[in-house]
Amino acid sequence: MSTVARRRTGFATAAQAWAGQAGSAYRSWPWWVQVTVIYASARLVSACIFMAAALHQGPNPWFPAKPDYWNFINIWDARWYGEVIANGYPSELPTDAAGNVQENAWAFYPLFPALAGGLSRLTGLIPAASLTLLAMLAGWGAALVVYTLFRHRVSHVPALWGVAFFATFPVSAILQVPYAESLSLLLLAAALLLVVRRHYLMAIPVVVLLCLSRPIGVPFAAMLGLVLVYRLLERFRSGGAAGLPAGNHTFGEMAALTGLTAVAGVSALAWPAAAWAATGDFQAYTKTETVWRGHDLVPFKPWFDTGVDLFGPVLGLLAPFVFVALFGLMLFLPPVVRLGVELRLWCACYMGYLLAFLHPQTSTFRMLLPLFPLALGAVLLSRSRAYRGTVVTMFLLLQIVWIVWLWAWAQLPGGGDYPP
Q: What is the pLDDT of residues 74-88, one digit of tens each?
A: 999 999 999 999 999
* pLDDT score recorded for residue 6: 63
* pLDDT score recorded for residue 243: 46
* pLDDT score recorded for residue 187: 98
Q: What angle do CA 414, 417, 420 make, to 5 degrees?
A: 155
Residue in 107, 111, 106 with CA at minimum distance from that of residue 131: 111
Residue 292 in contact with residue 103, Cβ under 8 Å? yes
Q: Cα(292)–Cα(116) distance, rounded to whole angstroms?
A: 25
Give the residues of the chain that fall short of pLDDT 50: 241-246
* pLDDT score recorded for residue 298: 85
* pLDDT score recorded for residue 26: 78
Residue 262 in contact with residue 203, Cβ under 8 Å? no
pTM, to two decimals: 0.93
* pLDDT score recorded for residue 245: 46
Say what the alpha-carbon torsion angle 226, 228, 232, 238 is, to the nearest 10 degrees. Answer: 90
Residue 82 in contact with residue 128, Cβ under 8 Å? yes
Say what the alpha-carbon torsion angle 333, 337, 343, 344 is, to the nearest 10 degrees. Answer: 50
Cα distance between the two ends of the chain: 55
Q: Cα(28)–Cα(81) distance, rounded to whole angstroms?
A: 41
